[in-house]
Amino acid sequence: MTTSLRTPDGYRTRGRSVPATSARDPRPVHDPPLETVYRPRHPVDLARTVLIHRRGTGDPTHTVAGPVIWRASRTPEGIATLALRPHAEGVRAAAWGPGSAWALYQLPALCGAHDDAADFDATRHPLVARAHRRNPGLRLSRSDLVFDALAGAIMEQKVTGMQAFAAWRRLVTWCGERAPGPTPRPMFAPPSIDGWRGIPSWSWHRAGLEPPQSKTIVAAARQGEALVAAIERAPDGEAVDRVLVSRPGIGPWTSAETRIHALGDPDAVSVGDFHLAHEVGYALTGRRVDDDGMVRLLAPWAGQRQRVVRLIGLSGVREPRRGPRLHPEDHRDR
């Protein structure tokens, strides 16, 4: 993978770069980006692969502008902004900020380079086979940013997606760091581990996050560096799961969601999800099942169960909704 300091066509702004204004965190004039073209060995559907990391359409860490996906992250080497565009040879990328070299080095993993589907047998079910055939570019992405994935998963515990995404949007915007580069709108990278640990109680409350979730994130952040190091040393997904669920407030669902986003775990299944077992059961059998039933249905694909879940989600098959939708509670006025 090669890099250069030439600003690539498609990422150029008109005229002179002008710093965005922000009372809290003004963005400086951006430097020229590092640039590369990632040439994968397999087809890559960039949007379906990378945007699994986006938490709602208002996520301040992700923006989609035409064919370009913009991503802000806090890498081990500092803040970075990535701009990703499909290219005839693969994926064209530009990166800004002190973490730009790390972001480009990690780009193949983000685009699913470590995803191995060699032993995946889609023919075990016609719906899975059809979805697999129609989505040849689906790859299982990994961010390699464990604590960000963990914090986001904890926010989604026992609440609606709308509530969790709103809390993530507010906290990252308020407590994160302005992303560098000519982003199409102001973007922010998540807080550091120390930053998560230092968020005051009233900010969690204003963001709409329930106390059990905020306390779990703060408790995890107190051991954040050790927790991340233990996960990075773990030899496989089962070992990572043991590390995570040993922490208070982190159960199998949160562990699975963290492994899916941070590590691209092809076998992780979010047992305990409010909808997932129903959707898997309906897609594979035409009727609802509980978590135990879902685990039995996915057993033939052991080692590749997350891939089956993703393909079911892309199949378009949905159980008809019955009854009133869950009304999200807002505890901020209590």
Place of tokens 């047998």: 121
Higher pLDDT, 119 or 14: 119
Asked if residue 210 belongs to a domain, the reply is no
Tokens of 318: 């949905």
Q: Does the structure show a pLDDT above 80 at 275?
A: yes
Report how many helices (DSSP H) and strands (DSSP E) the chain contains, helices first: 14, 7
Measured distance CA(275)–CA(46) in Å, rounded: 26
- Return mean pLDDT, the chain: 90
- The number of domains in the chain is 1
Neighbour-count burial of 178, counting CB atoms closer than 10 A to its CB (0-12 exposed, 13-18 middle, 19+ buried): buried
Backbone angles phi, psi at 268, to 5 degrees: -70, 135
Q: Does the structure show a pLDDT above 60 at 7?
A: no
| Average confidence (pLDDT) over 191-196 | 97
Q: Does the structure show a pLDDT above 80 at 19?
A: no
CATH number where 50 lies: 3.30.310
| Average confidence (pLDDT) over 253-263 | 98
Asked if residue 114 belongs to a domain, the reply is yes
Domain containing residue 63: 34-122
Which pLDDT value is given to residue 66?
96
Q: Does the structure show a pLDDT above 60 at 218?
A: yes
Asked if residue 42 belongs to a domain, the reply is yes
Which pLDDT value is given to residue 16?
31
Of the listed ranges 6-15, 81-90, 231-240, the one predicted with least confidence: 6-15
Contact 58, 51 (CB under 8 A): no
Give the pLDDT band of residue 158 (cuts 50, 70, 90): confident
Asked if residue 244 belongs to a domain, the reply is no
3-state helix, strand, coil in the chain (%, to 5): 45, 10, 45
**What sections of the chain are H helices per DSSP?**
46-50, 100-110, 126-134, 146-155, 161-175, 193-197, 201-207, 211-222, 224-233, 237-245, 252-263, 276-285, 291-298, 305-314
pLDDT above 70 covers what percent of the chain?
87
Residue type, 124: R
Asked if residue 101 belongs to a domain, the reply is yes
Which pLDDT value is given to residue 323?
54
Which pLDDT value is given to residue 21?
36
Q: Does the structure show a pLDDT above 50 at 35?
A: yes
Which pLDDT value is given to residue 18?
30
Q: Does the structure show a pLDDT above 70 at 50?
A: yes
| Average confidence (pLDDT) over 153-172 | 94
Which pLDDT value is given to residue 198?
96
Higher pLDDT, 14 or 209: 209
Asked if residue 53 belongs to a domain, the reply is yes
Q: Does the structure show a pLDDT above 90 at 159?
A: no
Tokens of 37: 């073209």
pLDDT above 90 covers what percent of the chain?
83
Asked if residue 104 belongs to a domain, the reply is yes
Residue type, 166: A
- What angle separates helix 126-134 from helix 276-285, to the nearest 10 degrees? 100
Other Cβ atoms closer than 10 A to 193: 21
Asked if residue 41 belongs to a domain, the reply is yes
Could you please report the per-residue DSSP string of 46-58? HHHHHGGG--STT
